[in-house]
Structure 1
Amino acid sequence: MRFSEHVCAKSAPGNFDSVRALVDSFTCYYPDISTWFVEKVTAGLANGSRRIIVDRCDNRINGLLIAKREAHERKICTLWVHPSSRDSGLAYEMVDEAIAWLDCSKPLLSLPEEAFDDFRSIVKIYDFDVCQVAPEYYRCGKVEYVLNGRLGSRATSANLQ
């Protein structure tokens, strides 16, 4: 990997804040993602159940992956690559690193319907399986594609995993 940074809450404030700002920009797909990041990811970084993998160049984030490793679930929670870095192999490098950390060749991953086509090569290369199509799981009128497992039922919209 060209450059990988593992971000934690104790990282330099600018590094953690830039990751949080990027995550906040995903609200169009996941309306409660800011709350999820503060409540779930920050706590998971502290207890070792979450890892943030960042590829950065000249203070710009080129790629971001957030992974969850718990006894009952291995999941790639977030995977994003800057448009100028797409088709460079960066997503594969980050997924490879996450798979190694998760110790799981087929982690759970969900994709919003708008992004599914962008991930077809990852689905094919890693032989991921579409196991569930979850209508309105995170947003009204939108489908979430679930790979390598199933999402649990949602009691509230703040139940992001």
Structure 2
Amino acid sequence: MSAVIRNNLFLKVSEIEPEQLRSYIINEVGEKAKDKLYNYLKDLTESYPEFEKWFFDAVIPEIEMKNGNRQIIIVLSEVEAKPSLVLTGIAILKKTDTEKKICTIRIHDNFRNQGIGSELFEKCFEYLETRKPIITISSDRKEMFETHIKNYNFSETQILKDYYKKDSTEYVYNGYLTDER
């Protein structure tokens, strides 16, 4: 069942003002911010066995360095039934001289089909400075992204078997993956 959203706030984690962050964390009783973000995405370990290691050993350190190579954009939404902000979406991005990639994009099941995903893609394009970033999608999640792939005219450029996980196929759009994972 979808909850009705009144307002969305898109924030780059490396740029969150202390007031906004404090307000959000206070409502998340005792959970550390990094753990909260990871817990929102941890089911991705089913498709990407090294996800936890990558998140804590690559993404978080680069976000904390604030060097611009990685960014996490979160979506906090005001929901009619709740007085506080709710984490409804998240994207993890990589932006280097040689690669502009949406590494992860997720909208919470209860908040899908309300335009948050489309808005979040637009924020990703803005940060990455391209409307054709590399994005990879596992075979078990491909159907979930079909509308966005079509709407943004993403071009399938690679099909990789067993790339992240044995007996799984990874579809690559708008570019090519290197051996760097």
Smaller-chain TM-score bracket = 0.7 to 0.9
| Contact 1:64/1:79 (8 A) holds in 2 | yes
Matching residue within 97, 113, 118 for 2:144: 118
CA separation in 1, counterparts of 2:87 and 2:53?
21
Q: Which has the larger radius of gyration?
A: 2
Deviations 1:13-65 (A, max 9, x none): 73332102223331001100111111211232112211111112445421110
Of the structure 1 ranges 55-64 and 125-134, higher mean CA displacement relative to structure 2 is found in 55-64
| Contact 1:7/1:16 (8 A) holds in 2 | no
Query: C-alpha root-mean-square deviation of aligned residues, in Å?
Result: 2.0
Secondary structure in 2 matching 1:141:
coil
CA separation in 2, counterparts of 1:44 and 1:107?
19
- Residue 19 of structure 1 is matched in structure 2 by 37
| Contact 1:8/1:16 (8 A) holds in 2 | no
Deviations 1:71-114 (A, max 9, x none): 00000000111111111111111110010111011000000101
CA separation in 1, counterparts of 2:13 and 2:39?
13
Match of 1:20, as an amino acid?
A: Y
Matching residue within 106, 114, 119 for 1:88: 114
Q: Does 2:94 correspond to 1:54? A: no
- Residue 4 of structure 1 is matched in structure 2 by 10
CA separation in 2, counterparts of 1:38 and 1:77?
14
CA separation in 2, counterparts of 1:93 and 1:74?
18
Identity of aligned residues (%): 26
Q: Does 2:70 correspond to 1:44? A: no
Written as runs of structure 1 = structure 2, the 5 A alignment for 1:75-154 is 75-153=101-179
Q: Does 2:46 correspond to 1:28? A: yes
- Residue 156 of structure 1 is matched in structure 2 by none
The TM-score normalised by the length of structure 1 is: 0.87
Secondary structure in 1 matching 2:167:
coil
In structure 1, the gaps of 5 or more residues are 154-158
CA separation in 2, counterparts of 1:98 and 1:26?
20
Secondary structure in 2 matching 1:137:
coil
How far 1:6 moved relative to its partner? Answer: 2.0
- Residue 95 of structure 2 is matched in structure 1 by 69
Of the structure 1 ranges 16-25 and 128-137, higher mean CA displacement relative to structure 2 is found in 16-25
Of the structure 1 ranges 99-108 and 3-12, higher mean CA displacement relative to structure 2 is found in 3-12
* Count of residue correspondences: 155
